[in-house]
Chain A
């Protein structure tokens, strides 16, 4: 069986500086994979390389589409969603317009379910409906994170890349966020590649974990196994893995 996302020997960087040195990775249909690693390990770069926003070499294919040779907007249309680090909010547009942009970019086959999906989004994130006429830039960090997730989901991706959704959020908001993530797979039938520093919380959500350090994969294992491996956590995941946020989630 071939996986939805297959990555082999992927390299990427900024100018002359390499940030990824040959990444191997797969994400199967309906699978959630957590990419773990300390700050600067290369998580963001990996996600960017996959979505075509950073130049990459090596193999990366999404259901047969060569991601290293395809422009970012084509990759997105082929069913790859990306909730970027920093949330990528369209700050000058209203919340509702942000949401509509997600709807606009769904594949033609999914147009029919647009209304149902929108209702579902507003059920999941009631605050977005309440604030739909406000400029999106006025939302709090957590609300913008929800908005980013809503936008990406409404485009109906097959694979969703999510970059540090808990970054900068208060512990409770962060816990909410992980609760939502844990329901994503059932509600939206998609695969997820989740980059996080918060290992404990993300491994509860994920099926498998991939640990990055300095641009290389240092471990790949089922989530439960990784969660139990204290020495690995101590060596590569830094303090964030054991922060109180992880406990509450």
Chain B
């Protein structure tokens, strides 16, 4: 039982990373109408930037806000410069651009920092806590809290601020938003910026556990895509819940289902994508009408 609980808890903490990445993917899907294949690579790049900032002597208290700002500017810039030209060219061209971004970002990261796996110190220290029979590392607790706060802030921006209302309006009905004086182009860029910032926190939190390398988020991308599929691409909350579920499910499966362990954990998200699309393509929280063709 303790074992089961421990596995569930650690599934939840890794699930938070997938949840944040899934949230980023859902944000871009809702605004721009495409999957962003490069979301994981953006997060990896952000983790390297955080690593570089911290090795340069910046305290973690500063690294996090600087990272968020840098990632936001990066995401918004990518939208303006590289996505905008094909904005009206249909889903195929958009998706192909994100494939190019995946290839390009991965290459740039590898060229700058090399392909070796580095160990990145945890911003939260190495202490370990015991609650009852359960064990928590400071990294898991602190990282989990950071991701959680990030997602809550992001959710609050969307739910309660005028900016969030405008962003949702553009996602819901861009033509009508334009008639109300909302610049859809600006909102799409802001959406990419927010997505990149949320993903950056996911990368930062994942790196100390998984080891920093250009492949940091390659698997996480698949898990996050499964999370978004499960929760529904049209729902921010769904993406987050989907991320937690995927984290727990793949952790439990690798522990209790014979044959599924190590790398093969990835079969779980793959199966989730496959089954959800077959059974309920709009996902758990999605509205059928908003699934884009």
Contacts and interface: CB of A to CB of B under 8 A. Distances in A.
Direct A/B contact, Cβ within 8 angstroms: yes
Interface of A: 51-53, 71-74, 76-77, 81-82, 84, 88-93, 97, 100-102, 104-105, 151-152, 155
A73 B186 CA distance: 11
A93 B179 contact: no
Given A72-B179, A73-B181, A88-B179, A100 B165 contact: yes
A72 B173 contact: no
Contact of B173 (A91, A100, A102, A104): A91
Interface residues of B, number: 22
Given A89-B173, A105-B180, 13 more contacts: A52-B178, A53-B175, A71-B183, A72-B179, A74-B181, A76-B179, A84-B175, A92-B172, A92-B287, A101-B165, A101-B182, A104-B165, A105-B181
Contacts of A84: 175-176, 179
Nearest to A155: B180
A68 B175 CA distance: 17
Contacts of B181: 73-74, 76-77, 105, 155
Given A73-B181, A76-B181, A155-B181, A93 B176 contact: no
A82 B166 CA distance: 17
A104 B166 contact: yes
Contacts of A71: 183
A120 B48 CA distance: 55
Given A93-B168, A101-B165, A104-B166, A88 B173 contact: yes
Which has the most chain B C-beta neighbours within 10 Å: A76, A90, A151? A90
Contact of A104 (B162, B176, B234): B162
Contacts of B115: none
A151 B290 contact: no
Nearest to A106: B181
Contacts of B184: 73
A126 to B, nearest CB: 23
Contacts of A100: 165
A73 B178 contact: yes
18 contacts: A73-B182, A73-B184, A74-B181, A76-B179, A76-B180, A84-B175, A84-B176, A88-B173, A88-B179, A90-B168, A91-B172, A92-B172, A93-B165, A101-B169, A101-B177, A104-B166, A105-B182, A151-B180
A97 B178 contact: no
B164 to A, nearest CB: 10
Nearest to A90: B172
Contacts of A93: 165, 168-169, 172
A101 B180 contact: yes
B176 to A, nearest CB: 3
B106 to A, nearest CB: 34
Contacts of B183: 71, 73
A73 B162 CA distance: 16
Choose among B166, B177, B184 the residue with the greatest number of A CB atoms under 10 Å from its CB: B177
Contacts of B179: 51, 53, 72, 76, 81-82, 84, 88, 152
Give me the 9 closest cross-chain CB pairs, A-B, nearest first: A88-B176, A76-B181, A105-B181, A77-B181, A72-B178, A105-B180, A90-B172, A92-B172, A82-B179
A90 B178 contact: no
